[in-house]
Amino acid sequence: MPDPTDFEAITYHVERGRARIALNRPDKRNAITPGMQRELERALWEADDDTRVHCVVLSGNGPDFCSGYDMGGYDSRGPGDEHRRGRESFDDDAWRLEAMQRCRMALFDMHKPVIAQVHGRCLAGGTDIALLCDMVICSDDARFAFPPARAQGSLPSHMWLYHLGPQWAKRILLTGDALSGADAQALGLALKAVPDDKLAEEVDALADRLALVDTDLLACNKRIVNMGLELMGARTLQRMAAEMDARGHLAKSREQFRQHAQEHGLKEAVRRRDGPFGDDLIRR
């Protein structure tokens, strides 16, 4: 059993048949670092091995579920890294994207179901995590989007197609525009959307029901659905998504974004990226 004090970027505890894992960088709106992804993977496999646990509830502390990847933590190299891959070549970049994707795929591969409890913003890397969970329950005013697709690259994980179908997946990814939690439910991206003050109650009610079912049967029924997704190419598409993101990193707009961030700061670069889109909430 992991010592909760072992984790820096997440919290972990077990109660009433569920493991509660929360992204825990609220001052950074739970922006994802490589360290956070490794901690999340370790916690997920621990929960899968714990016989008391029937499901995992994955949430985020603070005002948002997750604001995306921490763009300050991916290109830096520390002492002793001179003989490790950087991101200079296409293959280096794809290799690193695949390494982090393997951490996230624990959500898909573990035997026990995972419920994503999403509130506030679920952006970019936040969607990479949430959409690999087995069920997403969100607040009706949550926002789902991948705005870096406007300038910085593609998606290093890709389950949008399987939840939304090709036209809505393209509508969101080609513009970086956002879906509300209510519309995410209507379109199948989320299982259910509820008022924010009812979110924890709704998730716990589902977790209570899962706690009544033998974990062997939970595994059977999760895994047969996921095998069906694999037969529809889901696992291959995740691998291809990492390589497509590396390709997207070669776009001129990506280099322009990096230059703006270096010269004017990240907030200004994001403002320049998103400003022309105005209010980007999709209204169906």
For residue range 210-230, list pLDDT tens digits in order: 999 999 999 999 999 999 999
Q: Is 31 helix (H, G, I), strand (E, B) or coil?
A: coil
The mean pLDDT of the chain is 94
| Digit-coded pLDDT (tens) for 82-121 | 666 667 799 999 999 999 999 999 999 999 999 999 999 9
| Overall pTM > 0.85 | yes
Which among 69, 50, 204 is positioned nearest to 146, based on CA atoms?
Answer: 69
CA dist., res. 49 & res. 192, Å (int): 28
**Superfamily classification of domain 4-249:** 2-enoyl-CoA Hydratase; Chain A, domain 1 (3.90.226.10)
Q: Is 84 helix (H, G, I), strand (E, B) or coil?
A: coil
Pull the structure tokens for residue 211. Answer: 């706690």
CA dist., res. 265 & res. 269, Å (int): 6
CA dist., res. 104 & res. 31, Å (int): 15
| Per-residue CA distances from 229 to 125, 173, 233 (Å) | 21, 21, 6
Cα dihedral sign for 191, 193, 194, 200? Answer: positive
Residue 211: phi, psi to the nearest 5? -70, -15
